[in-house]
Amino acid sequence: NLLIDRALGVGGFPRGRIVEIFGPESSGKTTLTLTLIAQAQKRGGLAAFIDVEHALDPQYARRLGVNLDDLLVSQPSSGEEALQICEALVRSNAIDVVVLDSVAALVTKQELDGEIGDSTVGAQARLMSAAMRKLTSFISKARTVCVFTNQIREKIGVMFGNPETTPGGRALKFFSSVRVDIRRISQIKASDGTVMGNRTKIKCVKNKVAPPFAEAEFDIMFNEGISSTGSLLDLALEMEIVQKRGSWFSYNGNQLAQGRDAAKEMLKNDPALYEELEAAVLTKLNEGKK
């Protein structure tokens, strides 16, 4: 997706680095990671998905373009097992993308063996700290994109500043080269009021490979995932490649469609026009980098 690639600053998620994607529930974290896997597979890469939450939907993954026959999926029973699998996959030097979904769901053996309600203060943080120290050098040598998704928690008693934090201690924050905050900002509705998707915003709150704090807004549609046509249309409008007068969209003096949804549908049904617009947008993006 061009908007996400631009926000990340290097044309996508960096290889040989640790990435953290965090946000509230149903904000699009897993959708973003599955899209990354689908794109890696299209380029001949091998991907692995460590499903700690035990919530991967195969049908949805397939709709996003993921080839499930070539995807390595693991559903570990403990946090230690999940991170050992992650380490083994990275050390094999055969995997291009490893996704661990999610850090918040990692449960230590100490917690599993105890009773519900037993105090295990800092166990998850200690586990993550030890894992990050080991993983970071292996990931760099293997040039694997290692993505951890995370949830959001609220600190109790914070009067000033942001009360939000992510579980798993501070180690992941330190060792991540890119941290992406993803949020749902509004719903996308059809003319009859049916919710068809979400308007989503990402912000790179940490970026060691490009200038940080870049943002991007895009559509996540329930039947197709991240809308590439919507992102292309938004970028083309921003760069004045496509013009908008009233509700009409036009390109090279020719009217395309009336309304954003109709323009998106037209781009979807006309691959030649889509490729032409994409080439024009990429040319302008590359000119801006020089």
**Residue 195: which pLDDT band, with cuts at 50, 70 and 90?**
very high
What tens digit of pLDDT does each residue of 114-125 get? 888 777 788 999
pLDDT of residue 120: 79
pLDDT of residue 289: 66
**Residue 290: which pLDDT band, with cuts at 50, 70 and 90?**
low
Q: Indicate whether 9 pLDDT > 70.
A: yes
What tens digit of pLDDT does each residue of 130-180 get? 999 999 999 999 999 999 999 999 998 888 888 999 999 999 999 999 999
Q: What mean pLDDT value characterizes the chain?
A: 93
pLDDT of residue 119: 72
pLDDT of residue 285: 86
pTM: 0.94
Distance from C-alpha of 25 to C-alpha of 21, rounded to nearest angstrom = 12
The mean pLDDT value for 13-21 works out to 97
